[in-house]
Amino acid sequence: MAKLVNSMRFLKALASAEKRLTLKELANEVNVKERMVRIYITEFKEAGLNIKTYPGQHGGIELDEKDLLDFFGINQKESQVD
């Protein structure tokens, strides 16, 4: 159960981030080790989620909110609450 909860926290942290997050920042946000963040990235990419990773000093990890909505089959009109 903890893995599911942490993976949902991972998605929430990525989707709500206003900038690219480093591996360390994501691990701290989700309260897991960096190795687990790498596993989440791999698993979600294999499932078809478009998580973008950028190497280097100014790199990081990001997920566009639209990509997350597309992954779950939700269009942007449906996601907006009146």
What is the chain's pLDDT, residue by residue, as a tens digit (82 residues)?
688 899 999 999 998 888 999 999 999 999 999 999 999 999 999 998 999 999 988 899 998 777 777 777 887 665 555 5
Q: Is 48 helix (H, G, I), strand (E, B) or coil?
A: coil
Q: What is the Cα–Cα distance from 61 to 34, expressed in whole angstroms?
A: 12
Closest residue by Cα to residue 50 from 26, 75, 71: 71
Flag whether the pTM goes above 0.85: no
CATH class of 2-76: mainly alpha
Which pLDDT score is estimated for 52?
93
Which pLDDT score is estimated for 69?
77
